Amino acid sequence: MFVLNCKVDHSETLTFRPPKADRRRRREPVLEDVDEAYAPVLCAECDTVVAVYDADEVYHFFDTLVTDTS
């Protein structure tokens, strides 16, 4: 899959921390929170953030539509 009309902003880092588990309900051990770092992906035309780019070089898009370019 290819990404078109987007640019990755490597000068900024976004982090995501999963929500803490409710320890009162669960009795199994909870893993430590690990921050995941992402770079924002901007539309090349309007500079709107449309996705994030992770350390595995995977794009995670949100609220976007696919158009047929053929």
Domain presence at residue 50: yes
Domain presence at residue 55: yes
Assess contact for 37 and 28: CB atoms under 8 A: no
Q: Are strands 59-61 and 49-53 parallel, antiparallel or unpaired?
A: antiparallel
The first and second tokens of residue 38, run together, are: 């992402």
Domain presence at residue 19: no
Domain count, the chain: 1
Domain presence at residue 23: no
Domain presence at residue 22: no
Q: What is the pLDDT of residue 67?
A: 72
- pTM for this one? 0.68
Q: What's the domain range around 7?
A: 1-14+34-64
Question: Consecutive sets of 10 residues in the chain, 70 residues long: mean pLDDT of each?
Answer: 90 79 56 71 93 93 76
Bridge partners (DSSP) listed for residue 15:
37
